[in-house]
Every structure is written in structure tokens, then in C-alpha cells.
Chains A and B, each alone.
Chain A
Amino acid sequence: MPVGLQAQPSLGVPGKKRWAMVIDLRRCIGCMACVCADKAEYDVPLGVWRTIVKVKDTGSYPNTKRHFMPRLCNHCDNPPCVRNCPTEATYKHEEGFVLQRYERCIACRTCIAACPYNARHVLPKNRDRVKIGGVIDKCTFCHHRVAADLVPACVQTCLGRSRIFGDLNDPNSEVARLVARHSVVTLKPEKGTAPQVYYIKPDRVHTEQVLSRPVSHAARADAEAFYRHNRGTQFFSGVL
């Protein structure tokens, strides 16, 4: 077993499930319905996200293109966030979910630092309706829905059927067939995290580290205004 994990990786292990997601980027239209569904499912507060759709514009007028790329926790088979957590608050489920024990998390943010995909965030302390606050949160692959034989909220709502969810260990599942037939890509495979979100036909602007910085002036101005107004710094200091 990779060191520091609580469950063996289940990918390819007979008799075990390995939940995974395939995102077919040929079908994504950037409607953000998945982001909204997720916000609604978990009452995700303003300013933080469990899932996003990254948007990049390339080219110059009139030869321009807008690229979309849904992003979420990759539920890595070898997750560095789990290995680095000092309290085992974040752990690996035997079916592949990487989950969070809120009652144990001290919000040291080591897991945020460890995740190469920027998939984790801190929940504000005082929230209106939901009591859980002041700890780290992330996408759960909708564990509670999957346990009830439902698909994750973002998959349910995806109107382009760009997001497909299923058991990768079952050769007859749609995800297994898609992964077998297409030249799928995972993000930063060289980091050894074994991510379990597979992309069909991503653009380089979205997968490569050197191209990952925000480019548009408007985006930067927007974000800087956000930090000035809410937090004052881009680094975590007194946010909670």
C-alpha cells in the first residue's frame, strides 16, 4: 500500500469498486450547470468551489476560441492530501472516494498545500444555515448519493452529458468503455497521484502548468478586487 493511506488503491482490484469520472470535453458547452448543482447540493459558500469550469480564451480577434474544462477533486488513487494530513481527518475510502472527517479537521491547510490540483478550500466559520464551518472541504464524488445508487449532482445535471460517472472496475460500465476506447488524459500524471478523473480531448491551455496562470486582464482585476474586499491578501491570513 502507498505509505500513509488508510485504504488500498482499488483500481483494477477484482471484487472491489473504483468510482471514477470521465469528462468528455467535446460535449462541454460551459453552461456551469454542474457548478450550480454542486452549490445547491452542499450549500457551498460564496467565493469557494467544490467544482469549477475553467475557461480560457485563446487567439486574437477574429481567430479566437473559448475552451472549457470542468475541474473537481480527482479522487486520486494515491492522494498526497491524505498522506500529509496530521490528524487523518482526510482519508481514502476503499471504493476510491477521498473524504473528509469534519469533526477531526484542525484546518492546518496542509492538505490544500499538498493537492496539486487546487481542489480544496476552507469553509468560512459563520455560515447561515449549515453548521459545518472553519474546516476544509472538498468534492466528495457525492458519496452520499452514490451510496443510494444515484449519480453525483453535477453528473445528473450536466446537460451536454459531458460528465460521466461509474465504476471503472466494471468492464461494462460506460466509464470503463470510454477509458478503454479513447485516448484519455489525466491531470499531472507525472506527480504520481493516480487521478481518477479522465478527460477526453483536453486543450493544452488547460492541462499544462506553464499555461495555467490567469491571462485576461479582466479576470485579474476581478480577483484582485475580490481579495481586497474580502480578505486583503491572497495568502491565508485571518480568513476565518
Chain B
Amino acid sequence: MFEYFEFNIAPWGWEITVYFFLIGTAAMTYVYAAAPAVFGDVFGGIARSMEPFQKTGMLAALVLLLISGPLLIVDLGVPERFLYPILHFHWTSPLSWGALFLPLFGLCIVGFLAALWFNRPQLLKPIGILGMLLSLSMPLYTGLDLMVHQTRELWSNPTIPVLFVILSVSSGTALVSVIHLARGQFDARTFEFLHWFLYVALGTTLALFLGELVTLLYGSAELQQAWTLINERFWVQFWVMTFGLGILTPFLLMIVTHYWKSARVLTLAAVLAAVGAFFFRSVLIYAGQLTQIYY
């Protein structure tokens, strides 16, 4: 009965997991939509394949931002103080930086849309570049939000921000593929463009997944505890949803699409990779909290 004390509530629930996922997806969708303006003719002009997607992509990024921003705010215990991280800025907290960059990222989306709307093509490139930097900062800051907790060993790992950037590439590619498929806009160049991004994202995710495994298997006492927790409470999310469904299956589908260029199969692979991206993050966030909550 006394052990009752040991149970506390873990700080971050589903809102944070969903927020991390959505903001990462919004960031990568922005990158795709701004790619023609920013990269133009480099790499053989392949980014131009995204030209018909510019407006839709920006609108999709805006919608995601309009969902994830308020989600983050209502998750606060005192939502009406949501501007405090900017007003009382603390430079060592990634959350403060995130709070600063998030509205700026929103402004870039609106600015890009306005430049498209009012036909100001000369503005697209500078806004696109600025917005791409800010969109990179979105998954980066969420990863740093975990990484800076040097006392939580599952999190205090320099690969976490990189992993979050890569996972956002997967989920962004999924959204872009679904929109392209739904609007019947897939052509050979779009296919090639998205295929390449998904390959890189999946390959890097697999490498980082294996790296995480090695860290867990050979790690400290706390990591061993995390490993036990993952295999007890989160084994479906970790092994089935992340590894099986989110990494291995899309890889197999990518091999299929290498020979049989099917936009549907590519989209399916991307959606599965996005599912994996969601669960990978959520397992890391949840298991990382429990070790200390039990302490």
C-alpha cells in the first residue's frame, strides 16, 4: 500500500506526441511546396515537379499548423500564458526557441501564400528559404526538447533531433503523396522526387532505429530499465507498429516500386512510414518518461 507513493503522473501525454507528429509533417510539407521556388533548376530541375502543388501544399501546412499550435496551447496547464516563453524568454530552453520560431514559421506560410496570390514571384524565393530554415527548426526543436534532458538517458542522445527531422520527412512525404494521388497529379518526375525522399528517410530511420537498439542493449542501468519497459508495455508500438509496419514493410514496398512504378504503392509505403514515424516518437516519449517517474 505504501508503494502507492511511487506512482506519479508522467508529464507528457498524447497531445505532445500528436503535436510533434503534426508539426513535423507541416514542416516537411512546406519544404515540398516551397521546393520549386527555392531549388528551381538545381538537380536537373526535379523540384519543379512540385509546381502544381505549391498552393495546396502551403494550405495543407497552414491547416496542420492551425491544428498543432492550439493543441500545444491547450495542453498547457495555464493556456492563457502561452506567450510567456517569448515574453520571459529563457535561452537554454528549446521550448522558448520553439515558441519563437513557431509563429515565424506560420508567417512564412502566410507570406508565401500571399506572394502566390498577389503574383509576386520575386518574393517566393526569399520567403521560401526563410521558411525552410524555420521548418527545419520545427522537428529539430522538438527533438532538442527531449535531447536537452541530460538526466533522461533514453532522450539525452544527440541523434534524437536528427531522427525527428527524418521522421518528419517520412510523414511529410506521406501527406504530399496522398494529396497528389487524390488529385491525380502524379507524373514520372513527381514519382521520382517523392520516391527518392522516402528512400533516404526510410534508410536513415532504419539506421537510427538500429542505433537506438544498440544503445538500449548495451546501455546503462536506466537504459536497461527502458528496454524492459519498451518490451513489456510498448512492444506492439515498438516492434509491430514502428519496426514491422513502419520501417520493414515500406522498405519492401519500395523495392516493389523500384521495378513496378506504381504511385499507389509508393503512397502506401509513405503512409506506413508515417505510421512508423508516429509510433517511434511516441514510444521514445513515453518510455523515456516512465523510468524516472518510477524512481
Contact = CB atoms under 8 A, between A and B. Distances in A.
Interface of A: 3-4, 30, 48-49, 52-56, 80, 83-89, 104-110, 112-118, 121-122, 125, 134-136, 188, 191-193, 208-210, 212-216, 218-220, 222-223, 226-227, 231, 233-240
A191 B221 CA distance: 13
Contact of B3 (A219, A231, A237, A238): A219
B81 interface: yes
A230 to B, nearest CB: 9
Nearest to B288: A113
Given A117-B295, A118-B8, A213-B294, A4 B90 contact: yes
Contacts of B93: 4, 83-86, 110
Contact of B90 (A87, A105, A208): A87
A84 B90 CA distance: 8
B9 A86 contact: no
Given A83-B92, A209-B222, A235 B10 contact: yes
A84 B7 contact: no
A106 B292 contact: no
A114 B90 contact: no
A2 B290 CA distance: 27
B225 A240 contact: no
Interface string B55-90: 000000000000000000001111001101101101
Given A53-B5, A106-B78, A227-B7, A113 B92 contact: no
A237 B13 contact: yes
B149 A113 contact: yes
A226 B8 contact: no
B99 A86 contact: yes
Given A109-B11, A235-B289, A3 B92 contact: yes
| Size category of the binding interface on chain B | 35 or more
A88 B88 contact: yes
Interface of B: 1-15, 75-78, 81-82, 84-85, 87-88, 90-93, 95-96, 99, 145, 148-152, 220-222, 224-225, 286, 289-295
B149 A210 contact: no
Given A106-B78, A113-B11, A116-B151, 4 more contacts: A48-B8, A55-B5, A109-B12, A236-B9
A125 B80 CA distance: 14
B92 A106 contact: no
B294 A214 contact: yes
8 contacts: A83-B148, A106-B85, A114-B149, A193-B151, A214-B6, A219-B3, A234-B290, A235-B289
Contacts of B220: 209
Contact of B151 (A52, A191, A216): A191
B192 to A, nearest CB: 41
A62 to B, nearest CB: 20
Contacts of A54: 2-3, 5-6
Nearest to A239: B9
A233 B85 CA distance: 28
A53 B4 contact: no
A192 B153 CA distance: 13
A223 B5 CA distance: 9
Given A108-B76, A121-B8, A87 B222 contact: no
B262 to A, nearest CB: 39
A118 B293 contact: yes
Given A84-B148, A209-B222, A107 B7 contact: no
Given A86-B96, A122-B77, A209 B151 contact: no
